[in-house]
Amino acid sequence: MFSLLSHNTFGIDVNATRFLEYASVEELKQQIAQGAITTPFLHIGGGSNLLFTKDYDGLVLHSCIGGIEVTEETEQSVSLRVGAGVVWDDFVAYCVRSGWYGVENLSLIPGEVGASAVQNIGAYGVEVKDLITAVETVNFRGEERVYTVGECEYSYRNSIFKRPENRTVFVTYVCFRLSKKEKFTLDYGTIRQELEKYPKMTLDIVRKVIIDIRESKLPDPKVMGNAGSFFMNPILSREKLETLQQEYPRIPYYELNDGQVKIPAGWMIDQCGWKGKSLGPAAVHDKQALVLVNRGGAKGSDIIALSDAVRISVREKFGIDIHPEVYIIDN
Alpha carbons 194 and 208: distance in angstroms, whole number? 10
CATH 3.90.78.10 residue ranges for the chain:
225-329
pLDDT of residue 163: 93
CB 19 within 8 A of CB 59: yes
DSSP letters for 174-225: EEEEEESS------STTHHHHHTTSSS--HHHHHHHHHHHHHHHS--TTTSE
The amino acid occupying position 263 is I
Residue 329 phi/psi, 5-degree rounding, is -100, 110
C-alpha 281/C-alpha 308 separation (Å) is 15
pLDDT in tens, 61-99: 999 999 999 999 999 999 999 999 999 999 999 999 999
- CA gap 112, 87 in Å, rounded: 4
DSSP string, 137-151: EEETTS-EEEEETTT
- The pLDDT assigned to 31 comes to 97
- Give dist(CA 53, CA 83) in Å, integer: 29
Annotated catalytic residue: which of 157, 167, 214, 315? 157
Q: What is the pLDDT of residue 6?
A: 93
- Using an 8 Å Cβ cutoff, are 175 and 135 in contact? yes
- What's the pLDDT score for residue 259? 85
d(CA 321, CA 331): 24
Q: Is the peptide bond before 164 cis (omega within 30 degrees of 0)?
A: no
In this predicted structure, what is the pLDDT of residue 189?
Answer: 83
What b/e readout covers 127-157, taking b as 16+ CB neighbours within 10 angstroms? bbbebbebbbbbeeeeeeeebebeebebeeb
301 is catalytic: no
> CATH topology for 225-329?
3.90.78
Start-to-end CA span in the chain (Å): 16
Residues of the chain under the 70 pLDDT cut:
none
Residue 229 among the catalytic residues = yes
Give residue 257's pLDDT. Answer: 78
Q: What is the pLDDT of residue 252?
A: 94
Q: For CATH 3.30.43.10, list the domain ranges present in the chain.
A: 2-63
State which fold the 2-63 domain adopts.
3.30.43
Q: How far apart, in whole angstroms, are the C-alpha atoms of residue 5 and residue 121?
A: 23
Q: How far apart are CA 155 and CA 259, in angstroms?
A: 15
State the catalytic residue, choosing from 104, 112, 194, 325. 325
Q: With contact defined as beta carbons under 8 Å apart, do 78 and 177 qualify?
A: yes
Residue 157 falls in the annotated catalytic set: yes
In the chain, CATH 3.30.465.10 covers 68-179
* Burial grade of 235 (CB within 10 A; 0-12, 13-18, 19 or more): middle
For residues 115 and 46, the answer to whether their CB atoms sit within 8 Å is yes
Does this model's pTM top 0.85? yes
The active-site residue out of 63, 116, 159, 229 is: 229
Q: Does domain 68-179 bear CATH number 3.30.465.10? A: yes
Residue type, 155: S
Residues whose CB is less than 8 angstroms from the CB of residue 77 and which lie 6 or more positions away in sequence, other chains included: 177, 178, 179, 180
